[in-house]
Amino acid sequence: MGEISHLERHRAWVLTGESSTYALRLDEDDVPTHLYWGPPLPTDAVEELSTVKLPWWDGFNDPNEGLDELAADGGTRYWTPGLQVRFADGTRALEWRYETHEISRDHLAIHFTDRHYPLRIALHYRLRTDVLERWTELTADTEVDVVRADSATWPLPLRDDYRLSHVTGRWAAETQLHRTSAAHGETVFASRRGIAGHHANPWVMVDDGTATERHGEVYGVALAWSGSWRLTTTRASTGRLTISGGFGQDGVVHRVGPGKPLRTPVLAGLYTGGGFGAASRAWHAYVRNDVLDHGRELRPVLYNSWEATGFDVSEQGQRALAERAAALGVELFVMDDGWFGARTGDHAGLGDWHVNRARFPDGLKPLVDAVHGLGMRFGIWVEPEMVNPDSDLYRAHPDWVLHHPHRRRSELRNQLVLNFARPDVGAWAHEWLDRLVGEHGVDFLKWDMNRPFSEAGWPGDADPDRLWVEHTNAVYALMDRLRADHPGLRIEACSGGGGRIDLGMLARADQVWTSDNTDALDRLRIQHGYSQLYPARAMSAWVTDNPNFVTGRSVPLRFRFHVAMAGVLGIGGDIVRWPGDDLALAAELIALYKDIRPVVQHGALYRLRPPVDDGVTALQYVHEDRAVVFAYRQAAHFAAPDRPLRLEGLDPADRYVDSDSGSTHSGAVLLAHGLPLTLPTGDFASTVIRLRRISR
């Protein structure tokens, strides 16, 4: 849980997690100033730090610059601002005045006002084991323009060098991991798209350039926000590096005033001394325990009909797929696009959320009942935030979409974006979704969002910029309301693949669609980047047909299954056409996955060999007395023998039995020497090894 203490004499606060300490104080001008972030420190050591005075060493650099807990624009500090305000008389600078603070178990709130203007600022800190959540709240008695409102600024300790770890990508190539030296000046990671985006993800990790998977100090921050976002690293000539981040983008102004407070999303931070692997395991535990609403559940094996049918959906065809899926051991059947309105392609019908009676003459209930009768849950695809111009909804409400007067309405995928910041749009969406779930007994929604914002205007509204924040908040509110009204409902977040993966969405969704690219070879790299921050418990991964529809590559069925089994297993192929041998193997591997599922979805991940080349890559999950190892040979070269695979996370004093071969191994040998690895010959060879501890 952690501990928060107030050092009144030093006007300082200390937040102590299980294996880290964070400390801040007020300087002589009441500016909240960073003191320490790193390995555990006793209170008297923090007191010693609080007495250190930083002298001016030239006439150009404020010694406290870069140490603000929320860097505010103004005065002699020229650091990247986390807070920029503009008062009615044109004044921009902020002057802090401390008012009070509150400590409630794991939560610290420090309250400030501006020394002249009626603006109130509250800085919030909440401990979650070793993850520290931070956010800011702004209120005012008269209207104030807030040009930038980051959730927090995170000053890092002085180091000889800094290295940034982050992910980039695009559609079908999400979460590609990069590590690069931090440039001097400002480096901005951002999305201006209204969604988190495929091209980046709202997190960054920092080390001194020497950290490895197993060793070294790593600092990381991650933003819980599913709209436009910005993370800025600033590295100055003085040597210091900070990270500041939050929602919003350049040119978008937040208005704060009577009845219009502003609360920023959580920007969470984590320190570890155990390298990138320990950092990932801590983030995974945080997501499972403190972010996911049902994080202790086991996610079911899923079947999705999209690749089998596309838009050619019918009750008879879905029944045939459901019967085959149930026979394989699938637990959740999901019908994808094409069940509603005039939706025979992506050009029409989106927004008309009524059952297509030509395809389902008696509605959806007979299919839902049939799926339930087969012992499976029923799920369905929806895209509530979108509309086709060729739809009854758009013809009735053309003003409901994001648009500017006198500007064209740009279409992507024949779609426009509905303005969920409008209460009438939110009410409409809740009405049909509540009816769809409640009347049909729907257990699962695949919630898609297939295009970013464009022409993001709101004609006639006095504060149109607010839609950038309020759209996302309205989506959150809708999901929260549906889940409260239907406690059994589970949701998968999707955005053309992995365009909406973030901590904010994971607080509402039970899993995320990682990428539209299901090619098993590509997925090794996509899943590797995903795993840096997010857990397998939420990573939806499918086995689909050969050749893959994105890459055209053909990969053996066993390899495809083994890659998908490292997350939340799903099937997406046309299983009615699979030959008998493939069906038998699929049933066997689904049964295997159900056995190892608690270890994969709730276990600690160890990335044993990353997919940095085309050789053997391997990962391991450890949970309670069990370990599961996945090993994949991507390509065979020069008849090279397989090297022993050194495992992690085991007890060296115990022995472990292989559940399939019956052979036993010393934990010490597995850790120091390695597990003998015998993969089948040739390319795309893979294996799953199950180990159980048999002695203490």
Report domain extents, the chain.
3-291, 302-602, 609-693
Do residues 568 and 601 lie in contact, with contact meaning Cβ atoms separated by under 8 Å?
yes
- For residues 12 and 17, give the distance between their C-alpha atoms in angstroms, rounded to a whole number: 17
- For the segment 657-663, the average pLDDT, to the nearest whole number, is 96
Quickly state the pLDDT bin for 161 (edges 50, 70, 90). very high
Residue whose tokens read 């893959």: 548
* pLDDT for 695 beyond 80: no
3-class secondary structure per residue, 204-235:
EEEECCCCCCCCECEEEEEECCCCCEEEEEEE
3-state secondary structure (DSSP) of residue 526? helix
**Closest of 269, 243, 288 to residue 20, by C-alpha:** 269
The catalytic residues are 448, 516
Can you state the angle between helices 557-564 and 580-602, rounded to 10 degrees?
Answer: 20
- What integer pLDDT is reported at residue 390 of this predicted model? 98
3-state secondary structure (DSSP) of residue 667? helix
Q: Which CATH class is domain 3-291?
A: mainly beta
Exposure letters 244-265 (e unless 16+ CB within 10 A, then b): bbbbbbeebbbebbeeeebbbb
- What integer pLDDT is reported at residue 693 of this predicted model? 97
Which tens digit of pLDDT belongs to each residue from 594-618?
999 999 999 999 999 999 889 999 9
Do residues 506 and 287 lie in contact, with contact meaning Cβ atoms separated by under 8 Å?
yes
- For the segment 206-223, the average pLDDT, to the nearest whole number, is 98
Lowest pLDDT segment from 65-74, 112-121, 220-229: 65-74
Half-sphere exposure in the Cβ direction for 445 (13 Å, CA): 26
Residue whose tokens read 């025979």: 344
- For the segment 393-417, the average pLDDT, to the nearest whole number, is 97
- For residues 201 and 181, give the distance between their C-alpha atoms in angstroms, rounded to a whole number: 18
CATH superfamily of 302-602: Aldolase class I (3.20.20.70)
Q: Which residues contact 674 (CB under 8 A, 6 or more apart)?
A: 643, 644, 645, 646, 647
- For the segment 553-581, the average pLDDT, to the nearest whole number, is 98
What dihedral do alpha carbons 261, 264, 266, 268 form, nearest 10°?
-130
- For residues 518 and 547, give the distance between their C-alpha atoms in angstroms, rounded to a whole number: 11
- For residues 101 and 8, give the distance between their C-alpha atoms in angstroms, rounded to a whole number: 11
- For the segment 42-49, the average pLDDT, to the nearest whole number, is 90
- For the segment 356-364, the average pLDDT, to the nearest whole number, is 97
- For the segment 306-331, the average pLDDT, to the nearest whole number, is 97
Quickly state the pLDDT bin for 1 (edges 50, 70, 90). low
Q: Which residues contact 636 (CB under 8 A, 6 or more apart)?
A: 681, 682, 683, 685
- For the segment 56-77, the average pLDDT, to the nearest whole number, is 85
Query: pTM for this one?
Result: 0.97
State the chain's mean pLDDT as an integer. Answer: 96
Radius of gyration (C-alpha) of the chain in whole angstroms: 26
- For residues 481 and 485, give the distance between their C-alpha atoms in angstroms, rounded to a whole number: 6
Do residues 294 and 490 lie in contact, with contact meaning Cβ atoms separated by under 8 Å?
yes
Let me know if domain 609-693 sits in CATH 2.60.40.1180: yes
3-state secondary structure (DSSP) of residue 21? strand
**Closest of 694, 693, 622, 690 to residue 658, by C-alpha:** 690
- For the segment 635-662, the average pLDDT, to the nearest whole number, is 94
Binding residues for substrate: 171, 336-337, 413, 446-450, 494, 516
Phi-psi region of 469 (alpha: psi -120 to 50; beta: other; left: phi over 0): alpha
- For residues 4 and 355, give the distance between their C-alpha atoms in angstroms, rounded to a whole number: 54
Quickly state the pLDDT bin for 375 (edges 50, 70, 90). very high
- State the chain's maximal CA–CA distance in angstroms: 80
- For residues 85 and 104, give the distance between their C-alpha atoms in angstroms, rounded to a whole number: 29
Which tens digit of pLDDT belongs to each residue from 433-486?
999 999 999 999 999 999 999 999 999 999 999 999 999 999 999 999 999 999
- For residues 387 and 410, give the distance between their C-alpha atoms in angstroms, rounded to a whole number: 13
* pLDDT for 696 beyond 70: no
